[in-house]
Amino acid sequence: MKSLVILISGRGSNMQALIEARLPVRIAAVISSNPEAGGLEIARMHSIETRVVDQLAHPDRAAFDTALAEVIDSFQPDLVALAGFMRILGDKFVEHYHGRLMNIHPSLLPSFPGLDTHTRALKAGVKIHGCTVHFVTPQVDHGPIITQSAVPVLPDDTSKTLSARVLQQEHRIYPEAIRWFLEDRLQLSHNHVSVSGAVMDDSVLNSPKLLG
């Protein structure tokens, strides 16, 4: 059975979704950059080994990346999943895990990379928002896209309500993408990912849509 290491920094809701999806994988460890992360307790409740690599205990990004990679590699994972991991990782670290470092981002990339995606989406006036699972590359939030899910932006949405609706989709597609990886269904070529056996939906999502 393949093994997975999950990296978190906070509450760990996407981590919990991965755990509860009962994927055909051994979750070897949950590693946090924040010793106070709520997700650590959730992992322990599921009898998953936890580690902390405190970002504040290292003088710079390179030192943190080195310490983090040493802990990850001690578990010999087939895949490393970022699940609300709030640290930008250096090029050397990312290249070390090329093709086996995955992230979930709360926007339809390449739109709105970085932070505060829901506020920025509302400010921009977009009618469709969503989330993206992608392989991580040195350019932040620009790695090869594996899967995306879209939701309409409603007229009375706030960043809080929009975030909650997008998060539901994050919890759905992240386990799905990781399952595809575990089943060897993902083919990564340059900046593109194909999924063997995938059924493409050619329907159109319009927002807003007039009824009647």
C-alpha 80: how far from its chain's center? 10
Q: Which stretches within 129-210 are classed as H helix?
A: 159-182
- Both tokens of residue 56? 């504040």
Residue 23: which residues within 8 A CB-CB, separation 6 or more? 4, 175, 178, 179, 182
Alpha carbon distance 72, 29 (integer Å): 8
The closest of 167, 199, 189, 8 to 99, measured between CA atoms, is: 189
171 noted as active-site residue: no
Alpha carbon distance 51, 55 (integer Å): 13
Q: Which of 105, 118, 129, 171 is catalytic?
A: 105
Active-site annotation, residues: 105
